[in-house]
Amino acid sequence: MKEEQDYIRDIAAMRSMMERSSKFLSLSGWAGIMAGIYALSGAYIAYKIFDFNPDEIIYSTAGSGSLTYSLLMVIFLAVLILILAMGTAIFLSKKKAKKRGENIWNPTAKRLLINMAVPLLAGGLLILVLISKGLIGLIAPFTLLFYGLALYNASKFTYEEVRTLGLIEIGLGLISSYFVGYGLLLWAFGFGVVHIIYGIYLHYRYEQ
Amino acid sequence: MNIAIKTLHKAFESRVRLGIMSALAVNDKLDFNSLKEYLDITDGNLASHIKALEKEKFIGVKKSFVGKKPNTKYFVTKEGKKAFDDHLKALEKLIKSQKSI
């Protein structure tokens, strides 16, 4: 007959299996820290070099064409940050998954990505519409808002802290859509500082 | 306490089978390779445990094709879910009763 210890171990094994097979736990804290650093440097470049800091919803840098050079460069910069951040996250998750003896492309990863992709794609398309209508001041707030919604939506399938992160980004997005003049600053805070704090927290909580 | 032990299903004595049931309890469907990865065991070992659970009618099989490759997915049946829940309850009861002694 089994001993009490065995039953306790049975339950522990069941619980760990349920968690491992339903949640993507290969997210790396370092990915958050790196994404934050990219975002902060991107916001700094946009502000200092391209003089991008919309203070009104309808904003055009030169007043003539709707798509000015600096705006184009800022969009290019934003896409570059996105690719860098995602590339780093995938690379580090792959490393972490390998260490855990798992494949990165498993059912939990798929679910996490699908649940993030729907709000993100909707937001991305909406932002293209905003650009075409010249509503430049709303871009930063809406990236925060939709990114927050994506995180909140996907949080069931990964670390529970992602839910809080999502709520913070949603809040920052809403605040900055009202105070448009602080859009870039709040964007730098949301994507930069918050990511770095979250990454450090994740690292110390789960990767020690 | 004896009653609780009786409700512990024999099929769940092996931790591998408990693992299979746990993974399927929180996923609608899983294929062979995903299960293998979570449990970290050999093909033959996993196949024999799956067969045993299938025989009890605790899990079902759904075969389909992804392109030309056959893709077999497993899911928990209603009976399996009930047996698993009962087993979990019995385990918890056992631990509680032994703690109170």
Share of chain A above pLDDT 70, in %: 94
- In 3D space, the residue among B37, B49, B40, B61 whose CA is nearest the CA of residue B13 turns out to be B49
Of A1, A13, A107, Cβ closest to residue B15: A13
Amino acid code (one letter) for A72:
L
Lowest-confidence segment of A70-74, A79-83, A138-142, A148-152 by average pLDDT:
A70-74
Query: Which residue in A10, A22, A103 is closest to B18 by CB distance?
Result: A10
Per CB distance under 8 Å, which residues of A are interface residues toward B? 1, 4, 7-8, 10-11, 13-15, 17-18, 20-22, 101-103, 106-107
How close is the nearest chain B Cα to the Cα of A111, in Å?
Answer: 11
Report residue A192 as tokens.
């930069």
Instruction: Kindly list the distances between the CA atom of residue A35 and the CA atoms of A14, A18, A28, A203, B98, in Å, as whole numbers in the listed order.
Output: 34, 30, 11, 14, 50
Contacts of B18 in chain A (CB under 8 A): 10, 13-14, 17
Residues paired with residue A33 on neighbouring β-strands, in sequence order: none
Measured between CA atoms, how close is A7 to chain B, in angstroms?
A: 6
- pLDDT tens figures, A133-161: 888 899 999 999 999 999 999 998 999 89
Cα(A24)–Cα(A155) distance, integer angstroms: 10
The Cα A25–Cα A28 span in angstroms is 8
Q: Over the stretch B6-42, which tens digit does the pLDDT of each residue have?
A: 567 777 888 899 999 999 998 888 989 889 888 888 9
Q: What is the tens place of the pLDDT at every residue in B42-64?
A: 999 999 999 999 998 999 999 88
Reading the block at residue B4, the tokens are 């609780």
List C-alpha distances in Å: A135 to A69, A93, A123, B27: 16, 36, 14, 43
Please give the C-alpha separations between residue A55 and each of A146, A171, A206, in angstroms, as whole numbers. Answer: 21, 19, 40
Task: Identify which of B18, B19, B34 has the shortest CB distance to residue A107.
Answer: B34
What pTM did the predictor assign? 0.81
**Which tens digits make up the pLDDT trace of A86-143?**
999 999 999 988 887 777 888 888 889 999 999 999 999 999 999 888 888 999 999 9
Q: Cα A184 to the chain's mean position, in Å?
A: 16
Burial of B6 (0-12, 13-18, 19+ CB in 10 A): exposed
Whether residue B27 and residue A17 make contact (CB cut-off 8 A), yes or no, is no
Task: Please choose, from the candidates A178, A126, A129, the residue with its C-alpha nearest in 3D space to the C-alpha of residue A147.
Answer: A126
Chain B residues near residue A102 by CB distance under 8 angstroms = 37-38
User: Does B95 contact A13 at a Cβ distance shorter than 8 Å?
Assistant: no
**Residue from the list A13, A21, A101 with its beta carbon closest to the beta carbon of B26:** A21
Q: Which residues of B touch A107 (CB under 8 A)?
A: 27, 30, 34
**How many H-runs (helices) and E-runs (strands) does chain B carry?**
5, 3
Interchain proximity A107–B88, CB inside 8 Å:
no
DSSP letter at B60?
A: E
Query: Residue A99 belongs to what H/E stretch?
Result: helix A69-99
CB A183, CB A159: distance < 8 Å: no
Q: Which long-range contacts (CB under 8 A, 24 or more apart) does B31-39 make?
A: B31/B71, B31/B72, B31/B73, B31/B74, B32/B72, B32/B74, B34/A21, B34/A106, B34/A107, B35/B74, B37/A101, B37/A102, B37/A103, B37/A106, B38/A17, B38/A20, B38/A21, B38/A102, B39/A17
